[in-house]
Structure 1
Amino acid sequence: MARAIAAALAALAVAGAAGAEERRLPVPAVTIRAGEVIKDEMITERAFAPNLLGVALFIDARPTLVGRMARRTLLPGQPIPSNAVEDPWAVARGAIVKVIVEDSGLSIVTYGSALQSGAVGALVPVRNTDTGVIIRGIVQPDGTIKVVDG
């Protein structure tokens, strides 16, 4: 009998130690579809045992998620891998964008078709609608593309 009580107390001590090591992670409160921008009310927190998380890198701070875009469907209650979200696109693939080339005080403006979606600061290829030439530029906050070395 004493042995059974000692074993039960040991099991409780182990369970308590494991509970102390739990990680609280932000998780979706609702299903978040790919391409959807994440809002604060879409996120809640949940405790996870460290051995259930494996070796994947999960987002561990709510502010890291809010305002970002889901790259794939995120299911309620599941931890969010760091590669499952990205900055929202300022330019969508196939969109007609303004392309600005600046060099030595000269500024040239033309239009092109974005060949890839991109967030602010991303380097994206654009096909010039007049010539068909593909150029690469950096996405600006206003959605224009700035060619770096004209």
Structure 2
Amino acid sequence: MTRLLPGGLLALALSCALMPAVAPALAQSAAARQRPIADTVSGMDMPPAPAPAPVPAAPAAPVASQISLPVAATNIAPGETITAAMLAEKAFPASMANQYPLAVNHGQLVGKVARRPLAAGNAIPVAAVAEAQLVTRGVATELRFEQDGLSIRALGVPLESGSLGAMVKLKNADSGKVVAGIVQADGSVKVSAP
């Protein structure tokens, strides 16, 4: 006697009963999906084409876990001009250079002045050094005015300190007028016409 099962159970029972008959056809269609279309059209009974040989993956480049940074070879006092002889190299974790604004090469340090004490063996923050002040506030320096072959030199007192290429204001020692000029490499200030 056949009893009717509710819809879901009937479908399950039918699929279980039909599975042994349908399984070979399903396996054959899966194999056909793996073959190129040209093979399936030209001959259904041909064996599948061999799979191409896997291409070996290039080895991944090792991630640099350390970075070489310049450090003070000896203790450097504030106000000292940094020379190449005062620096050495030391390895630090690469993440350190990403977390803090540190000097990463000697070019960022040589010729600059330490703004604070720099301990030997420690990485040097960029903010711990400054350009050398060629003109110091209150210390007399030479003013130069040059235009069309005319050259005038005078003494001036800077109202502010400045490094190479900085614009500074000075008081002319002779006239008392305040002028502005650009700091030159020799420590003088080149003044332009007003």
Report the TM-score when normalising by structure 2. Answer: 0.60
Q: Which residue of 1 aligns with 2:132?
A: 88
Verify: 1:73 aligned to 2:130, yes or no.
no
Q: Which amino acid aligns with 2:93?
A: A
Q: Which residue of 2 aligns with 1:55?
A: 99
Question: SS in structure 1 opposite 2:187?
Answer: coil
Instruction: Call closer, same or farther: CA 1:65–1:128 in 2, change over 3 Å.
Output: same
Larger relative contact order (CA 8 Å, sep ≥ 6)? 1
Question: SS in structure 2 opposite 1:20?
Answer: coil
Superposed displacement of residue 141, structure 1: 1.8
Question: SS in structure 1 opposite 2:171?
Answer: strand
User: Residues 82 and 113 of structure 2 are in contact (CA less than 8 Å); yes or no, is this contact kept in structure 1?
Assistant: yes
- Matches of residues 1-150 of structure 1 in structure 2 within 5 Å? 20-53=64-97, 55-150=99-194
Instruction: Call closer, same or farther: CA 1:142–1:53 in 2, change over 3 Å.
Output: closer
Number of aligned residues: 134
Superposed displacement of residue 103, structure 1: 4.3
Q: Which residue of 1 aligns with 2:31?
A: none
CA-based RMSD of the aligned residues comes to: 2.4
User: Residues 102 and 123 of structure 2 are in contact (CA less than 8 Å); yes or no, is this contact kept in structure 1?
Assistant: yes
- Tell me the distance in 2 between the aligned counterparts of 1:63 and 1:109: 34
Superposed displacement of residue 95, structure 1: 1.4
Q: Which amino acid aligns with 2:163?
A: A
User: Residues 91 and 139 of structure 1 are in contact (CA less than 8 Å); yes or no, is this contact kept in structure 2?
Assistant: yes
Question: SS in structure 1 opposite 2:135?
Answer: coil
Q: Which amino acid aligns with 1:133?
A: K
Which whole-Å deviations, capped at 9, do the CAs of 1:100-123 have from their partners, x for residues lacking one?
223455433221111222222111
Instruction: Call closer, same or farther: CA 1:42–1:90 in 2, change over 3 Å.
Output: same
Among all aligned residue pairs of Structure 1 and Structure 2, give the percentage whose two residues are the same amino acid. Answer: 38
Q: Which amino acid aligns with 1:140?
A: Q
Q: Which amino acid aligns with 1:84?
A: A
Report which of the two structures shows the higher radius of gyration computed on alpha carbons. 2
Query: Higher mean Cα deviation, 26-35 or 115-124?
Result: 115-124
Q: Which runs of 5+ in 1 are unaligned?
A: 1-17
User: Residues 145 and 192 of structure 2 are in contact (CA less than 8 Å); yes or no, is this contact kept in structure 1?
Assistant: yes
Query: Higher mean Cα deviation, 77-86 or 18-27?
Result: 18-27
Q: Which amino acid aligns with 2:112?
A: R
Query: Higher mean Cα deviation, 21-30 or 129-138?
Result: 129-138
Query: Higher mean Cα deviation, 99-108 or 87-96?
Result: 99-108
- Tell me the distance in 1 between the aligned counterparts of 2:175 and 2:169: 14
